[in-house]
């Protein structure tokens, strides 16, 4: 019992929300009207004026802002989602159906804890269903008594949305458990060697910076820096392992296409405005064109709204040959390719 409690302290540290104003679409372009975070926040804890503010006295840490923001302005400090997936995957060697629990509850029966489940966007849920490779139980048994209990309905709507838009039957892979009697939890047994190996591995990850991001310098607040949001990176990894049918539905519903009309004068201002590096210049002195990669686009629309000529068009859905390649964004060239 002591070993389990000590291990839990190493594996499940407290989480809070950090912000990077340079990722906020409204900070990058003052005419942008994005309200994803403020509209989804039920406690009125987020304000955006000259900066992005979280009113800590109001914030319930439901983490909905984290999952809603298209460009990762909000992040859960101390959480590496890929490490969480890896830890769940390792558990499968001894437990057939691991349990993911909420860090806000002290004595819940689970194998790994994370921040409030409001942080799980559709992309996060798809990634868990694909990469875990077996049934994952999400413990919602304490949500009814929590101030963030509304998250249960949010999660169910997200699952329904995924199954409506794609051919991925995610409800067969992720089980929401809201009754203790239905929770199938089996303790993991640490022998002496295994216990200290787990502590050593986790201590190394903390030291290597895979969990804690202490860099708060100006370089992380640079508006010129290009950063691929986690949700987009997850999708890029997911489509590489999916069957063709599921792969195509993800491209249609979660990826984007950017094109430019003949009015484009190749000023390339949109490249600087793009926060993810989805746009670039290719060509030589005689001819230079705008090129676009769907795998790097989060659909924020900054390029479209910033274009003085109104020649940039962004559409949901990608049907090209390779979403990871850069293609000429000129509409007539793209259509003839």
Is residue 43 in a domain? Answer: no
Q: Which domain covers residue 148, as residue numbers?
A: 2-15+77-208
324 and 231 share one domain: yes
Is residue 319 in a domain? Answer: yes
Task: State how far Cα 259 lies from the chain centre.
Answer: 25
- Average pLDDT score over residue span 225-241: 95
- Average pLDDT score over residue span 80-99: 90
Three-state SS annotation for 95-156: CCCCEEEECCCCCCCCCEEECCHHHCCHHHHHHHHHHCCCCEEEECCCHHHCCCCCHHHHHH
Tokens 């990850």 belong to residue: 205
Instruction: Provide φ and ψ at 156, rounded to 5°.
Output: -65, -35
- Predicted confidence band of residue 189 (pLDDT cuts 50, 70, 90): low
Which of 87-91, 196-200, 272-276, 287-291 has the least mean pLDDT?
196-200
- Average pLDDT score over residue span 68-78: 94
Q: What is the DSSP letter of 282?
A: E
Asked if the model's pLDDT at residue 192 lies above 90, the reply is: no
Asked if the model's pLDDT at residue 179 lies above 70, the reply is: yes
Q: How many whole angstroms separate alpha carbon 258 and alpha carbon 18?
A: 31
Q: What is the pTM of this model?
A: 0.85
Q: Which of 208, 241, 275 is the last residue of a domain?
A: 208
Q: 149-161 pLDDT, tens per residue?
A: 999 999 999 999 9
Is residue 40 in a domain? Answer: no
- Average pLDDT score over residue span 12-32: 84
Q: What is the pLDDT of residue 218?
A: 40
Question: H helices within the chain, ranges in order?
Answer: 2-11, 25-28, 36-40, 64-68, 81-91, 122-131, 151-165, 192-208, 230-239, 244-254, 269-273, 302-306, 331-336
Q: How many whole angstroms separate alpha carbon 40 and alpha carbon 118?
A: 11
Contacts of 149 (CB under 8 A, 6+ apart): 143
332 and 281 share one domain: yes
8 and 126 share one domain: yes
CB 274 within 8 A of CB 226: yes
Tokens 């064109």 belong to residue: 289
296 and 174 share one domain: no
Mean predicted lDDT score pLDDT of the chain: 85
The CATH number of the domain holding residue 246 is 3.30.70.20
3-state secondary structure of 288: strand
Q: 253-275 pLDDT, tens per residue?
A: 999 999 999 899 999 999 999 99
């Amino acid at each position: 019992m002591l070993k389990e409690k000590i291990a839990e302290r190493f594996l499940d540290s407290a989480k809070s929300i950090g912000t990077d104003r340079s990722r906020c679409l409204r900070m990058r372009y003052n005419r942008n009207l994005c309200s994803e975070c403020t509209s989804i926040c039920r406690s009125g804890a987020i304000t955006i004026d000259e900066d992005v503010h979280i009113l800590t006295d109001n914030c319930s840490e439901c983490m909905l802002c984290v999952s809603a923001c298209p460009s990762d302005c909000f992040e859960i400090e101390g959480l590496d989602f890929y490490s969480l997936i890896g830890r769940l995957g390792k558990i499968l060697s001894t437990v057939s159906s691991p349990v993911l629990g909420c860090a806000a509850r002290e004595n819940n029966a689970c194998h790994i804890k994370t921040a409030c489940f409001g942080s799980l966007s559709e992309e996060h849920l798809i990634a868990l269903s694909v990469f875990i490779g077996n049934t994952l139980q999400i413990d919602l048994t304490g949500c009814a008594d929590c101030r963030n209990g509304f998250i249960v309905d949010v999660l169910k709507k997200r699952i329904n949305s995924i199954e409506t838009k794609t051919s991925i039957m995610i409800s067969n892979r992720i089980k929401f458990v809201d009754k203790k009697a239905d929770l199938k939890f089996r303790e993991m047994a640490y022998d002496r060697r295994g216990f200290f190996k787990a502590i050593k591995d986790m201590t190394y990850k903390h030291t290597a910076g895979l969990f804690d991001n202490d860099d708060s310098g100006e370089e992380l607040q640079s508006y010129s820096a290009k950063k691929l949001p986690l949700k987009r990176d997850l999708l890029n990894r997911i489509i590489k392992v999916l069957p063709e049918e599921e792969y195509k539905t993800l491209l249609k519903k979660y990826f984007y296409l950017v094109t430019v009309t003949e009015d484009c004068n190749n000023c390339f201002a949109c490249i600087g405005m793009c926060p993810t590096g989805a746009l670039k210049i290719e060509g030589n002195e005689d001819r230079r064109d705008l090129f676009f990669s769907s795998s790097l686009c989060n659909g924020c629309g900054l390029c479209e709204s910033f274009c003085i000529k109104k020649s940039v068009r962004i559409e949901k859905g990608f049907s090209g040959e390779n979403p990871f390649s850069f293609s000429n964004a000129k509409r007539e060239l793209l259509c003839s390719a």
